[in-house]
Structure 1
Amino acid sequence: MSYPNQPGVPGAPAGGQPPANNLVWGILTTLFCCLPLGVASIVFAAQVNGKWAAGDYAGAQESADKARKFAMWGAIAGVIVIVLYVILIVIIGVGASTNN
């Protein structure tokens, strides 16, 4: 029996391995950075292996790319929010100390 992810299967990309699904990055982004973008990343990451097994190689690559993109933007958004929060706390602290 032949499986789509094996080398030599017609239509399968060279190497026969599915693209990295980026599931770990999606989970970490959800937990530590930005919940909505992390969840979107997890959803797309969960589609990669199923699409690959069904023979939808382009769809699997597209889902992997979207999972990576959402995880990356979620991490960037999380860092920006943290930096803005620290700046706000510093401003409030300086303002409170000058009023005394």
Structure 2
Amino acid sequence: MSYGPPSGPHNPGGYGPPPPGPYSGGQPAGQPPKNYLWMNILGLFGCTVIGIIGLIFALQVNSKWSIGDYAGAESSANTAKIMGIISLIGFILGAIFWVIYIVFFVVLAASSATYSTY
């Protein structure tokens, strides 16, 4: 079996087999990049639209890696990371808002309590 153009008088033997090594196609053949799925799931509660977009990109990382689209997997991972960070910040700010909101109304209710002597 020949790898490359057919052998002939001007090309004796084709290119030959690819060299063995830890790389295939210029990309590492190891683990796929991180998909940041947990960030985007938490981000659904803080910034829903951005969380959904990030979730879609996070779910694409492993499938693109498994079919050999290494550049696409890296691109999806980077987009999922950015969307995950934005939506996670929205989640954290929302959680802080709700804690302040609850504490404010508990203090307000405690300070405006009236006591009657019936």
The normalised TM-score by structure 2 is 0.59
2:33 to 10, 15, 19: 19
Residue 74 in 1 paired to residue 96 in 2?
no
Residue 85 of structure 2 aligns to a residue whose secondary structure is helix
Give unmatched runs, 5+ long, in structure 1.
1-5
Structure number with greater CO (CA < 8 Å, separation at least 6) is: 1
1:9 to 24, 35, 48: 24
Equivalent residues of 2:64, 2:73 under 8 A apart: yes
Taking the TM superposition and a 5 Å limit, the aligned residue runs for 1:9-88 are 9-11=24-26, 13-30=27-44, 33-88=46-101
Offset at residue 55 of structure 1 (A): 3.9
Task: State the superposition RMSD in angstroms.
Answer: 2.7
Offset at residue 29 of structure 1 (A): 3.8
Residue 28 of structure 2 aligns to a residue whose secondary structure is coil
1:57-90 deviations in whole A, cap 9, x for unaligned? 2221111111122222222211211111111222
Offset at residue 42 of structure 1 (A): 1.6
Corresponding residue pairs, total: 93
CA–CA distance in structure 1, aligned partners of residues 35 and 86 of structure 2: 16
Give unmatched runs, 5+ long, in structure 2.
1-20, 114-118
Higher helix share: 1
CA–CA distance in structure 2, aligned partners of residues 27 and 91 of structure 1: 29
Equivalent residues of 2:64, 2:72 under 8 A apart: yes
1:3-46 deviations in whole A, cap 9, x for unaligned? xxx943233x235432122234433443x554333322220012
Structure with greater Cα Rg: 2
Residue type at the aligned position of 2:90: A
Percentage of pairs with the same residue: 39
CA–CA distance in structure 1, aligned partners of residues 73 and 99 of structure 2: 39
